[in-house]
Amino acid sequence: MDWSPFIISLKTASLAIIVTFFIGIFSARYVTNIKSDKIKSIIDGILIVPLVLPPTVVGFILLLTFGVNRPVGRFLLEFLGVKIVFSWIATVIAAVIVSFPLMYRSARGAFEQVDKELIMAGRTLGMSEEKIFWSVVMPNALPGVASGGFLAFARGLGEFGATAMIAGNIANRTRTIPLAIYSEVAAGNIRGAYVYVIVILIVSFILLFIMNYFTYKGKKY
Amino acid sequence: MALFVSIKKKFKEFDLDVKFKTDGKYLGILGASGSGKSLTLKCIAGVETPDEGRIELNGKILFDSKKNINIRPQERKIGYLFQNYALFPNMTVERNIGTGIELSKEDKKTKIKKLINLFHLEGMENKYPSQLSGGQQQRVALARIFAYNPNILMLDEPFSALDCFLKEQLHTEISDLLKLYDGEVLMVSHSRDEIYKFCENLVIIENGKSIHTGNTKEAFKKPKFLTSASLTGCKNITKIEIIDPFNIYAVDWGIYLKIKKKISMHTKYIGIRAHDIKMVQEKNDENIIFCSVVKIVEEMYEFAVFLKANTNIPKGSKKNTRIWMNIKKDEWSDININDEIYIKIPEDSIMLLEK
């Protein structure tokens, strides 16, 4: 029994959700504040794309971007000495890109549902935009933002296609649980796959339970 | 101390085109729902931006499209009481009141405490807005604005979110609290009673346009326009034809009336308030009309009697509009439907209206 996929998956999903959470919130805030509806829908479309593309296509595009013979990949390799492709960090990049739209969409929906008059009231009371966002908009959007975070975490944990494309399936390095399940089945070892599947099922149920608890729990205000 | 507003803004539904200035402490903005009253307040507060125009408060320009000036709402120092109070649901009463205060921690605490006492909110410091009644929420919202020392107070339909019983009680309570504020107060309402009670001057807005500005009592007594008459609660309005400078024909009722003041060519309608019409016995007087009773509605303190003038079919109008007469209960004499009675429309109670 190889435990490394658990460790790798947990590390990947945890780092990915931290990155996704903040990028998601900031892009949601940015898009919410765009005044022109046209520009808003264009930017929204671009940010949502990873959700509708097949993960293998996302992985393929990432491979084109970060490949060592490509400008971005070469730059990172030559100037920073970092090789992204087939490294652990590639699993994080794949998870971030694929889970980002879920975080962004949930946060944006939650922000837009906050009563506009609360924001106006904050402005007429002299609160700075920054203060209004953190002490009025965020607390009132929290259930939606949190559920977006859980969805994104679950999506990152289950990421397969893009990870396989850009990070490969290297045991002890980039083999996450979904890839381990695939490898076991491909090798004809169904019993080995069971353990990984059960772990994923348990984690997913716990996540959904926490998420619903957060969303439906009677708010104290 | 004065507010000057002259703004225009295009919307899908209508164009806002409002112009007025304050002159005295209380100014009421009267208009039907959706006529642009709240939008006007939002433009003054700076949370909406007009397309063009100028807004000036106490000599300071807040907005001027020609000079490209648009002061941020944060720097306008305007106390805006939103229709639903816009209390922050995630903050306690204490924190809500404290949002606009920029003082040291100690001073802030003392100030909040003072306001809590002033607005009778003792014991609610740590409650959330959803745990308060409508009246309490309103007091918290007012306290939050007072804490901010605004240059002007703007109240958006301050009583609309409250039920009738509370409303009466709060009218006096709020007017006592408002006395503590020594700046100008702008009050938006669709209720003529509230405007009449609170405001010396008023602006009447219809479909985004300010159609009348002036003294409130004057406007109620002698409205100049058709819409001001109906917004100030005039029940009887009819189209007229001018016969000679002192005689008119009320088209919708099919009757001839004498008027006291010389009529101008611009007069197209007349209005008569329901309580100005009197039931009479003698028939040989001016403006006596023979009518039959169509309908009687008993209200709390008076009867509303709907009448139809017994004349030939009115020319120029297909409808024969009812005349609405109010009779106080202690002046009530037994009248029944289909009775025929004489009423007098006093010459000086006829309001000449322009379109």
Residue range A69-83: mean pLDDT, rounded: 86
Residue range A13-38: mean pLDDT, rounded: 95
Nearest-angstrom CA–CA distance, B271 and B354? 10
Q: Does A122 touch chain B (CB under 8 A)?
A: yes
The pLDDT value recorded for residue B312 is 62
The pLDDT value recorded for residue A174 is 93
Query: A138: nearest CA in chain B?
Result: B90
pLDDT tier at A26, thresholds 50, 70, 90: very high
Nearest-angstrom CA–CA distance, A97 and A51? 9
The pLDDT value recorded for residue A75 is 87
End-to-end CA distance of chain B: 34
pLDDT tier at B315, thresholds 50, 70, 90: low
pLDDT tens-digit readout, B72-94 = 999 999 999 999 999 999 999 99
Is the pLDDT confidence value at B316 over 70? no
pLDDT tens-digit readout, B14-25 = 899 999 988 778
pLDDT tens-digit readout, B245-291 = 889 988 888 888 998 888 888 888 999 999 999 888 888 888 888 88
Residue-by-residue DSSP string for B12-23: SS-EEEEEEE--
Nearest to B275 by CA among B249, B305, B254: B305
pLDDT tens-digit readout, B94-116 = 999 999 888 888 999 999 999 99
CA atoms A142, A143, A148, A153: torsion sign: positive
DSSP class of A63: H
Q: Does A125 touch chain B (CB under 8 A)?
A: yes
| Cβ–Cβ gap A123/B84 under 8 Å | no
Query: Which residues, other chains included, contact B78 with Cβ-Cβ below 8 Å and sequence gap of 6+?
Result: A124, B44, B45, B46, B57, B150, B151, B152, B154
Map residue A55 onto helix, strand or coil.
helix
- Judge if pTM exceeds 0.90: no
Q: Does A71 touch chain B (CB under 8 A)?
A: no
A-B contacts at Cβ under 8 angstroms? 66
Contact A40, A27 (CB under 8 A): no
pLDDT tier at A115, thresholds 50, 70, 90: very high
Residue B50 is encoded by which pair of tokens? 């007009």
**HSE-up of residue A130 (Cα within 13 Å, Cβ side):** 0
The pLDDT value recorded for residue B229 is 85
Among the listed ranges A134-143, B151-160, B170-179, which one has the minimum average pLDDT value?
B170-179
The pLDDT value recorded for residue B1 is 62
The pLDDT value recorded for residue A81 is 85
Query: Which residues, other chains included, contact A221 with Cβ-Cβ below 8 Å and sequence gap of 6+?
Result: B89, B90, B128, B129, B130
Nearest to A21 by CA among A183, A121, A156: A156
Nearest-angstrom CA–CA distance, B334 and B326? 14
| Cβ–Cβ gap B86/A136 under 8 Å | no
Residue B320: count other Cβ atoms within 10 Å of its Cβ.
Answer: 15
Beta strands (DSSP E) in chain A are none
The pLDDT value recorded for residue B167 is 76
Per DSSP, helices labelled H in B151-309 are: 164-179, 192-198, 216-221, 226-231
Residue range A82-103: mean pLDDT, rounded: 94
Amino acid at B285: D
DSSP class of B196: H
Cα–Cα distances (Å) from B173 to A208, B94, B166, in that order, read 50, 21, 10
Nearest-angstrom CA–CA distance, A50 and A53? 5
Domain-wise residue ranges, chain A: 4-220
The CA-based diameter of chain A, rounded to the nearest angstrom, is 67
| Cβ–Cβ gap B77/A126 under 8 Å | yes
Contact B353, B224 (CB under 8 A): yes
Q: What is the mean pLDDT of chain A?
A: 91
| Cβ–Cβ gap B86/A127 under 8 Å | no
Q: Which residue in B78, B84, B100 is closest to A117 by CB distance?
A: B84
Main-chain phi, psi angles of B315, to 5 degrees? -85, 150
Residue range B301-319: mean pLDDT, rounded: 74
| Cβ–Cβ gap B82/A121 under 8 Å | yes
The pLDDT value recorded for residue B266 is 86
The pLDDT value recorded for residue B96 is 95
Is the pLDDT confidence value at B327 over 70? yes
Contact B100, B147 (CB under 8 A): yes
Map residue B55 onto helix, strand or coil.
strand
Map residue B109 onto helix, strand or coil.
helix
Task: Name chain A contacts of B78, Cβ cutoff 8 Å.
Answer: 124
Task: Name chain A contacts of B94, Cβ cutoff 8 Å.
Answer: none
Is the pLDDT confidence value at B344 over 60? yes
Nearest to B91 by CA among A117, A138, A206: A138
- Quote the CATH superfamily of domain A4-220: MetI-like (1.10.3720.10)
CA dihedral A90→A94→A100→A101, nearest 10 degrees, is 160
B36: left (phi over 0), alpha (psi -120 to 50) or beta: left
Residue range B161-174: mean pLDDT, rounded: 76
Task: State how beta strands B60-64 and B288-298 pair.
Answer: unpaired
What share of chain A in percent tops pLDDT 70? 96
Amino acid at B316: G
Nearest-angstrom CA–CA distance, B293 and B322? 9
Is the pLDDT confidence value at B41 over 70? yes
Nearest-angstrom CA–CA distance, A24 and B249? 71
Q: What is the mean pLDDT of chain B?
A: 88
pLDDT tens-digit readout, B118-148 = 988 999 999 999 999 888 999 999 999 999 8
Query: Which residues, other chains included, contact B333 with Cβ-Cβ below 8 Å and sequence gap of 6+?
Result: B279
Is the pLDDT confidence value at A99 over 90? yes
CA atoms B178, B182, B187, B193: torsion sign: positive
Q: Inter-axis angle of helices A4-32 and A88-113, to 10 degrees?
A: 40
Task: Name chain A contacts of B42, Cβ cutoff 8 Å.
Answer: 120
pLDDT tier at B32, thresholds 50, 70, 90: confident
Nearest-angstrom CA–CA distance, B56 and B64? 8
Task: State how beta strands B278-280 and B3-10 pair.
Answer: unpaired
Helix (H) or strand (E) holding A130: helix A129-132
A215 or A96, which is more confident? A96
Name residue, tokens 């939650």: A110
The pLDDT value recorded for residue B68 is 93
Residue range B168-172: mean pLDDT, rounded: 78
Nearest-angstrom CA–CA distance, A105 and A100? 9
pLDDT tier at B160, thresholds 50, 70, 90: confident
Among the listed ranges A134-138, B62-66, B255-259, which one has the minimum average pLDDT value?
B255-259
The pLDDT value recorded for residue A87 is 93
| Cβ–Cβ gap A221/B128 under 8 Å | yes
Nearest-angstrom CA–CA distance, A42 and A115? 25
pLDDT tens-digit readout, A137-184 = 999 999 889 989 999 999 999 999 999 999 999 989 999 999 999 999
Name residue, tokens 């002033």: B118
Query: Which residues, other chains included, contact B111 with Cβ-Cβ below 8 Å and sequence gap of 6+?
Result: B101, B103, B147
Task: Name chain A contacts of B137, Cβ cutoff 8 Å.
Answer: none
Query: Residue B74 burial by CB count (10 A; 0-12/13-18/19+): exposed, middle or buried?
Result: middle
